[in-house]
């Protein structure tokens, strides 16, 4: 009830960190940038998505939650101008959004207690909480990157110290590779051996030592004086006297400098992927570095990992930097854009080009945690999350969501079946969002799940005096977050009437089971 009242109040009143006029102008400029790109590449954008589809899309992408029916009906009936912008603001300020982002960062930064990361439960909880609070506070991404690169101390107590600790390979080469992947969307294995060694030198003084507390480690920089020759991946050379300066400081100064676009470009590309399911540049975490003088002439044009249209990337990077690398400001712009609110439908022959140039919304399967939580929300039966290895044993309270899980080692059969990331390398490709036969069999043939689904009519219709059509509406709103269309109403009535009168109570069980087994339920669209 409290959540509902808050939702209604904010929906009615609205709020914004920038003035409404100023922000609307920014959105209009970005939409114009997108339209120029579409016109340049001969792409016709999709129509604006319906309110029902927008609400569902926003709820899954921002909160990782199946929409609540009462909130959805309130949103659909609201005729206030700017209601989508107000809903976006509401969701971005929600602690549930912080949980969803912490899950994404946990994949990205390899938050896992067991092999091969071996952070152990204390460090896992500390590190995961750091990213949750980072999102709630809307801390600058540039400031956060500097904290991660320069942190020393106990990995149980100083959360950013886990940035280097959470690497399976903690040699200088391994630390360099992990840093480049997470903060630069760059794969060091594309560099020559000499370049890899010169880049790894920035992290050659990072050390780890154990304490008397079980599995705790101290991260620090070796203070012994030596002279290092280092080179960043874009070719800039540094000679560093480690007796006077930590090499990590030199690297952080270079990466986090406002004139260096690499950090912002990398985050913008991930943010776009997280909100839409595809990157502006693909592969998402294997981007070409920005062109810089000689670098451009050496690599030529085009390069395979460049953005489809550099102007769109440049606009977002400039906006991100102008707002002090506020992640919330960036998401606000993306979610209000014409690209995020585009319909998913287009001709099959045009789909590849439309997705490449961000003109339709990509259809992608829901992440495993979201599917797990959606099924739990529907059936009122939550997964049990337990880890008995390593000690100390970890038991997550009943009713906890899969999205809120801190530990990548803690999983269930459902999570594994739907491709949850093992968090071993931090690569986006570790999360498998492809549909498989095993997933379809689970939804269609699992006896446990079926027995839960057939109880849904009792939960959904309990205590409500409703007509048959109203019940049908409620079933569709509950599972698919939309009203049934005419053909669906006709098919449902035909099947209902085909049953013997004494068997018609089974219709609603069959309907809920069928809706859960539609592709529409399991996909972002």
The answer on 377 and 428 residing in a single domain is yes
The answer on 340 and 397 residing in a single domain is no
| Residue 208 forms part of a structural domain | yes
Q: What is the pLDDT of residues 416-464, one digit of tens each?
A: 999 999 999 999 999 999 999 999 999 999 999 999 999 999 999 987 6
C-alpha dihedral (467, 468, 474, 478), degrees to nearest 10: 150
Highest-confidence segment of 172-186, 340-354, 376-390: 172-186
> Among residues 116, 22, 156, which one has the least CA distance to residue 408?
116
Peptide bond into 392 cis (omega under 30): yes
The answer on 154 and 78 residing in a single domain is no
Phi and psi for 420 in degrees, rounded to 5? -60, 145
- Domain tally for the chain? 4
The answer on 413 and 488 residing in a single domain is no
Give the whole-angstrom CA distance, residue 37 versus residue 42: 9
| Residue 448 forms part of a structural domain | yes
| Residue 296 forms part of a structural domain | no
Q: What is the pLDDT of residues 125-164, one digit of tens each?
A: 999 999 999 999 999 999 999 999 999 999 999 999 999 9
Sign, Cα dihedral of 85, 90, 96, 101:
positive
Average pLDDT over residues 347-372: 89
Residue 388, pLDDT above cutoff 80: no
The answer on 93 and 12 residing in a single domain is yes
Domain boundary among the residues 400, 418, 437 is at 437
The answer on 459 and 432 residing in a single domain is no
pLDDT of residue 391: 66
Give the whole-angstrom CA distance, residue 407 versus residue 368: 15
| Residue 111 forms part of a structural domain | no
The answer on 375 and 347 residing in a single domain is no
pLDDT of residue 8: 47
Tokens representing 280 are: 């502006």
* Of 309 and 265, the one with more pLDDT: 265
| Residue 133 forms part of a structural domain | no
Give the whole-angstrom CA distance, residue 2 versus residue 4: 5
Give the whole-angstrom CA distance, residue 141 versus residue 317: 12
Domain boundary among the residues 322, 338, 359 is at 359
The answer on 457 and 427 residing in a single domain is no
pLDDT of residue 297: 44
| Residue 182 forms part of a structural domain | yes
Phi and psi for 4 in degrees, rounded to 5? -65, -40
Average pLDDT over residues 266-281: 96
Give the whole-angstrom CA distance, residue 133 versus residue 122: 17
Average pLDDT over residues 164-168: 96
The answer on 390 and 354 residing in a single domain is no
- Tokens 């006709």 -> residue: 490
Give the whole-angstrom CA distance, residue 225 versus residue 152: 18
Q: What is the pLDDT of residues 210-227, one digit of tens each?
A: 999 988 999 999 999 999
Average pLDDT over residues 387-395: 73
* Degrees to nearest 5, angle at CA 207 with 205 and 213: 165
The answer on 242 and 146 residing in a single domain is yes
- Tokens 């990337």 -> residue: 313
| Residue 120 forms part of a structural domain | no
Residue 295, pLDDT above cutoff 70: no
Query: Which structural domain, as residue segments, surrounds residue 516?
Result: 441-524
Q: Model confidence at 303, in pLDDT bands (50, 70, 90)?
A: low
Give the whole-angstrom CA distance, residue 53 versus residue 186: 34
Residue 291, pLDDT above cutoff 50: yes
Rounded to two decimals, what is the model's pTM?
0.92
| Residue 445 forms part of a structural domain | yes
Q: What is the CA radius of gyration of the chain?
A: 25
Domain boundary among the residues 437, 458, 492 is at 437
């Amino acid at each position: 009830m409290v959540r509902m009242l808050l939702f209604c109040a904010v929906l009615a009143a609205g709020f914004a960190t920038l003035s409404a006029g100023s922000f609307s102008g920014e959105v209009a400029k970005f939409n114009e940038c997108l339209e120029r790109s579409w016109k340049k590449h001969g792409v016709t954008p999709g129509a604006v998505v319906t309110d029902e589809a927008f609400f569902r899309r926003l709820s899954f992408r921002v909160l990782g939650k199946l929409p609540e029916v009462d909130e959805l009906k309130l949103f659909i009936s609201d005729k206030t101008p700017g209601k989508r912008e107000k809903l976006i603001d509401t969701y971005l300020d929600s602690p549930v959004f912080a949980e969803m982002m912490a899950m994404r960062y946990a994949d990205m930064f390899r938050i896992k207690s067991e092999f091969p990361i071996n952070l152990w439960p204390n460090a896992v909880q500390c590190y995961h909480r750091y990213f949750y609070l980072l999102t709630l506070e809307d801390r600058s991404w540039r400031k956060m990157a500097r904290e991660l690169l320069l942190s020393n101390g106990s990995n149980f107590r100083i959360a950013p110290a886990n940035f280097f600790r959470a690497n399976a390979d903690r040699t200088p080469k391994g630390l360099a590779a992990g840093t480049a992947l997470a903060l630069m969307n760059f794969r060091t294995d594309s560099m020559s051996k000499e370049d890899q060694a010169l880049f790894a030198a920035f992290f050659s003084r990072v050390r780890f030592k154990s304490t008397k507390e079980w599995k705790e480690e101290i991260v620090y920089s070796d203070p012994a004086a030596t002279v290092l020759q280092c080179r960043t991946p874009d070719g800039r050379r540094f000679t560093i006297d480690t007796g006077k300066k930590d090499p990590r400081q030199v690297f952080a100064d270079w990466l986090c400098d406002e004139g260096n676009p690499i950090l912002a470009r990398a985050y913008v590309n991930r943010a776009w992927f997280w909100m839409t399911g595809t990157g502006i540049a693909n592969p998402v975490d294997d981007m070409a570095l920005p062109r810089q003088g000689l670098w451009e002439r050496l690599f030529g044009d085009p390069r395979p990992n460049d953005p489809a249209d550099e102007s769109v990337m440049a606009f977002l990077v400039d906006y991100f930097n102008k707002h002090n690398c506020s992640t919330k400001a960036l998401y606000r712009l993306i979610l209000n854009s014409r690209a995020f609110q585009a319909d998913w439908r287009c001709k099959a022959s045009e789909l590849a080009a439309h997705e490449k140039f961000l003109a339709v919304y990509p259809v992608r399967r829901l992440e495993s945690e979201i599917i797990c939580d959606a099924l739990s929300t529907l059936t009122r039966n939550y997964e049990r999350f337990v880890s008995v290895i390593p000690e100390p044993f970890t038991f997550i309270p009943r009713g906890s969501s899969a999205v809120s899980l801190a530990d990548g080692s803690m999983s269930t059969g459902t999570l594994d079946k739907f491709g949850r990331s093992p968090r071993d390398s931090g690569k986006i490709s570790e999360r498998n969002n492809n549909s498989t036969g095993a997933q379809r069999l689970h939804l269609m043939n699992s006896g446990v799940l079926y027995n839960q689904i057939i109880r849904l009519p009792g939960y959904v219709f309990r205590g409500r005096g409703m007509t048959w059509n109203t019940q049908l509406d409620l079933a569709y709103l509950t599972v698919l977050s939309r009203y049934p269309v005419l053909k669906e109403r006709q098919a449902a009535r035909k099947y209902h009437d085909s049953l013997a009168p004494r068997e018609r109570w089974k219709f609603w069980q069959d309907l809920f089971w069928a809706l859960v087994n539609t592709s529409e339920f399991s996909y972002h669209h």
